[in-house]
Each structure stands twice: as structure tokens, then as C-alpha cells.
Amino acid sequence: MTIPNRFVMAPMTRSFCPDGLPGDDVVGYYERRVEGGTGLITTEAIGTDHPASVGDTGLGETNLPVFRDPQAITAWRKVVDAVHAKGGHIIPQLWHQGPMRMPDGKTPAFSPSGHYGDPAKADISYIEMARIIAAEPMPVPSDEEIADVVAGFGRAARDAVAAGFDGLAIHGAHGYLVDAFLWGETNRRSAPWGGNSVERTRFAVELVKTCRAAIGEDRPLFFRFSQWKQQDFRAKLGETPQELEAILGPIADAGVDLFDSSVRFFNTPAFPEHGDLSLAGWAKKLTGKLSGVVGGIGLRNGKYDTDNAVSQASNNLGLVLRRFEAGEFDIASVGRAILHDPQWVNKARNGDPLPAFDPASVGILT
């Protein structure tokens, strides 16, 4: 896949898909970002057909997209066709909320060992949600149930191909299900789906293999990962580069083309005692795969570094360019800034003033 520039619209959940299906308003939403100069669109996260895949986001919204029937293929085909008609490229991000699924009194959340994480370690902005989720019983799934979730990702990947998407992204970060299998706090199983840090990669490895088989070799496969979790901002998959390499290596070998390295602010050194290399830089160095950076590009603050206040604009593209030219990463994903202004990439290219992010823009499809 060849894209016209290195700027990518980051995946951002908006809850604007009644009955799990995008409508004409969502078509226009993505179409405008292509017109605004964005090189690649990554959709909001789309659930699989597993019953616990998606639920309430914690904001009282449940209008999340899901690949579960032919209607979803038809609906997303309209989005894809509109993006392609404007000369753009688009890939879907697949997810399963796992232990992050808000309780609804019907379908329990799905966690490797029935754990959410330690609410006492939750960031203050998430403490209420942490208490709500952690207080809800979570059954421990069987090996067979876990294998069925993996198969569900494969079915969703096939639906993505049928809808005409240009590639596929997997959400393996932020404490959601894939990340929950990688993280020792939430995965306390023994083999075959648990064990030490390397053994805990099996779920991600099998999922990547399944999705790779579904999309073929000609479409790129992205894998988002993070050190931090929504349950604990201080959590880490790997305390050292060597530990991180042991985790990312098997996932890379399973068929990942690009590691989407999610941090709260892109310029943060991942392992300060080993230099100022970013997490994206370490992912590329350790695996030999392409990598992407995301977090606070075009803004003064990283995600969750402030309360629900306006995030002031910042032309930090010089820092982005310095790290890019040093070979740390291959694409730069922009979230809140492009969410707020569809023309953000064009404005950045032209040297125009960059707008601040107003949280009010989250509630409308601009």
C-alpha cells in the first residue's frame, strides 16, 4: 500500500453507529479527512461478533460499530468507496474491549483470568469507571472460549476484506483484551494462554496469524500496543528493551507489518536510562518492522495529561520531523487535532496556525 504522505488519522471511538452500522454521516466524516490531506485513515475501533466484544463506553453510549453480519460489510463498503473516490486509503481497527467492557447486567466482561486490574492504581480520571468495572464479577473463560474469540477476529478480518479495506489494524493496547493477555496483572493463567511474559504472547500471536490468513499477504497488518493501561498509567509490558523485544518478537514473526506504538506524548523516551529513543523507535529497532508514532502531535498535552479542558495547539512538528529523519518511525498518527479539524494536515503543510482541541467536538461528527 502506497500512501501520499506519512500522516495517519488515528482510530478514535465516536459512538455514532446505531445498530453497529455506519451511516451517511460517518461516510462524510471520513471523506472530509481525506479531502483535508490525511494520507491514511484508520477507522474507529470495530468489534467482532463475540457477544462481549463491545458494550457501553462508560459514557452512556453503545452505538459502536461491529462486524457481525452482511449488513456491516455493505455499510462499511460505502465508507471505503467514498474514501477511495477521493484518492484516500482506509483500514479498520478491530478490537475486543475485554476487561474494559462496562457492565450492562446481561453480558459479563471477558478477561483472561477474570481480572480487571488493581483499581487502587487507576488514574484519578478513570477511578470511578475502574471501581464500577472491577466490582462486576468476570468469569474465567475456558481455553475453547478463548480460541473462539481468536476465530471471531478472523471472521471480522474477512469481512473487512469483503468491504474493500486497504489493510487491517489490531487494537492490542490500553488494557483491552489483546493487551490483557499480554499484561501479567490481568493474565494469571498457565499454558496454553498464559505463563511468563513470552508465553502470554500466544493470544496475540494466534490472533495475528488468523487475521493475516484472512487478509492475505498483499494488505498491510498494523498492531497497536502500549506500555500504559487505562487501569494503570504506570504499567509496563517491558521494563527494559530486552523484555520488550521478547514480547514484540513473536508478535512480529506472526505477521505484523507495522507496530503502532501508543504513548500519551510522542516525544517521551521509552527507556530514559538507554537514551531518548521513543517507544516507536524501540519497536522498529527491536523487531525490524515498520513503526508508527502517536500521542499529542499538534497539541501541548498528551492524552489524559489534563482534565477535560481544551488542549492548546502546539506546532511540535519540528520534533516529529527530527525523530522521523532519525529513522525512529515511518508514519505519524494524529488523533484529537484531526478530530477537531478535518483540514489539519493541509494546514500543517501550508504553515497555517494549528487549532486547539475542544472536547465539545467529540459529541458531533464534524
Report domain extents, the chain: 7-363
d(CA 203, CA 150): 8
Q: What is the pLDDT of residues 123-172, one digit of tens each?
A: 776 777 788 888 888 999 999 999 999 999 999 999 999 999 999 999 99
Q: What is the pLDDT of residues 321-355, one digit of tens each?
A: 999 999 999 999 999 899 989 999 999 999 998 88
Q: Kindly report the pTM of this predicted structure.
A: 0.95
Q: Is the peptide bond before 342 cis (omega within 30 degrees of 0)?
A: no
pLDDT, averaged across the chain? 92
The predicted pLDDT at position 304 comes to 67
Domain 7-363: assigned CATH number? 3.20.20.70
Residues facing 171 on adjacent strands = 224
Of the candidates 116, 126, 176, 304, the residue annotated as catalytic is 176
The predicted pLDDT at position 202 comes to 98
Q: What is the pLDDT of residues 59-114, one digit of tens each?
A: 445 799 999 999 999 999 999 999 999 999 999 999 999 999 988 888 999 999 99
Cell output for 107: 453480558
Phi, psi of 340 (to 5 degrees): -75, -35
The predicted pLDDT at position 360 comes to 77
The predicted pLDDT at position 110 comes to 96
Q: What is the pLDDT of residues 279-327, one digit of tens each?
A: 999 999 999 999 999 999 988 777 666 555 567 788 899 999 999 999 9
| Cβ within 8 Å of residue 147, ≥6 positions away | 206
Q: How confident is the model at residue 365 (pLDDT cuts 50, 70, 90)?
A: confident
Give catalytic status of residue 304 as yes or no: no
Cell output for 194: 498464559
